[in-house]
Structure 1
């Protein structure tokens, strides 16, 4: 009888020890996970001291949260550079040079095609001023796809032409951001879907 009591106490002590160990492991894991999350959260915050040595917290946003907006801004900037032109050869070269930092070889290909067709010479000879207005930009962040909708105004001495501009392409994230490409994005597979006149108003030149 004494031996059975001893065995029962040993089994009870063993279960208590095992249970205590399991509880300790669970608590340790929980504390470790909580501490890891707090460290990650702390890394997203920096503190800035003003002149009175008072700390102000500045939070760092997750890159993925703001990326779709950066995509649209990048696409808009490229189209503003590529489609805003003036009868000034140096200005045209400047615009194209800045635009080419934002796109792959498909942009250079379209630029060379326009140059070979005499498009830029016609701007110089007719003293045309080209501006573009963005209507909307659709971006699919998952597929890295975009479609741009805008209207381009071509103001010549003899007429004012308005045409629709619809283009599409894909977006490639770069590892580095530079002064010439602040969003760290490269437009790829860019092509024009629509480019047609919707208005042509003749001017009365006296």
Structure 2
């Protein structure tokens, strides 16, 4: 009996030391897990912020928001180049028989290219092309069929294959339109959201394909 009583305090101390050791292990484990969790949250937050910085929103002509990646512009540069060309052709070749409307379209199209755009406009004007549209009450529309792009980055060489529709009161004439130009990078602006400039624009082909009578 005396022996058990003399050893009891030692057993109590041993159990107490084991308990403290267990508490320390648990506390250290909790600290490690907390640090790991905090590091994970910090990494997730940093990654989310970086991804958000890679995205910008550009307001296009149809008043819709288009998502663009800002970090690596070359990823979608070819697609932007083709869209720039389509937009230019719509502005330059979609014409109503109204001098004010024609002038407004040409002024906007001029932001898409260099002096070669205005030279083409001047040549057509001197030949009386726009006067004929107005006097004949002709509506001109363009439909881009395909765009052949050479090069993986600016400067690009572009050849555009399209159809022109000349809508008159009694007939519709379809023309084959082929244009060629170079495309170089410039700073983006409100008037040129793609950041491209058309150079050395020329019409390679503009031939009548057919004329049909309207019902």
TM-score by length of 1: 0.69
2:51 to 36, 45, 48: 45
3-state SS, counterpart of residue 153 of structure 1: strand
1:69 alignment partner in structure 2: 79
1:183 alignment partner in structure 2: 194
Instruction: Mark the runs of 5 or more structure 2 residues left unpaired by the alignment.
Output: 1-46, 54-67
1:115 to 108, 120, 125: 125
Q: Distance in 2 between matches of 1:153 and 1:72?
A: 21
TM-superposed CA distance for 1:85, in Å, is 0.2
**Residues 1-206 of structure 1 aligned to structure 2 (within 5 Å):** 44-46=50-52, 60-142=70-152, 144-174=156-186, 176-203=187-214
Q: Distance in 2 between matches of 1:127 and 1:45?
A: 52
TM-superposed CA distance for 1:43, in Å, is 8.2
Q: Distance in 2 between matches of 1:66 and 1:78?
A: 18
TM-superposed CA distance for 1:203, in Å, is 4.3
3-state SS, counterpart of residue 202 of structure 2: strand
Q: Distance in 2 between matches of 1:113 and 1:44?
A: 50
After superposition, what is the alpha-carbon deviation per residue over 1:123-181, rounded to whole angstroms, capped at 9, x for unaligned?
A: 1111000001110111123451111011010001232100011111101100x211110
Change (3 A) 1:111 1:59: closer
3-state SS, counterpart of residue 46 of structure 1: helix
- 1:45–1:59 Cα contact (<8 Å) kept: no
Q: Distance in 1 between matches of 2:69 and 2:161?
A: 34
- 1:44–1:60 Cα contact (<8 Å) kept: no
TM-superposed CA distance for 1:89, in Å, is 1.0
Q: Distance in 1 between matches of 2:136 and 2:118?
A: 24
3-state SS, counterpart of residue 193 of structure 2: coil
TM-score by length of 2: 0.66
Instruction: Mark the runs of 5 or more structure 1 residues left unpaired by the alignment.
Output: 1-40, 48-57
3-state SS, counterpart of residue 181 of structure 1: coil
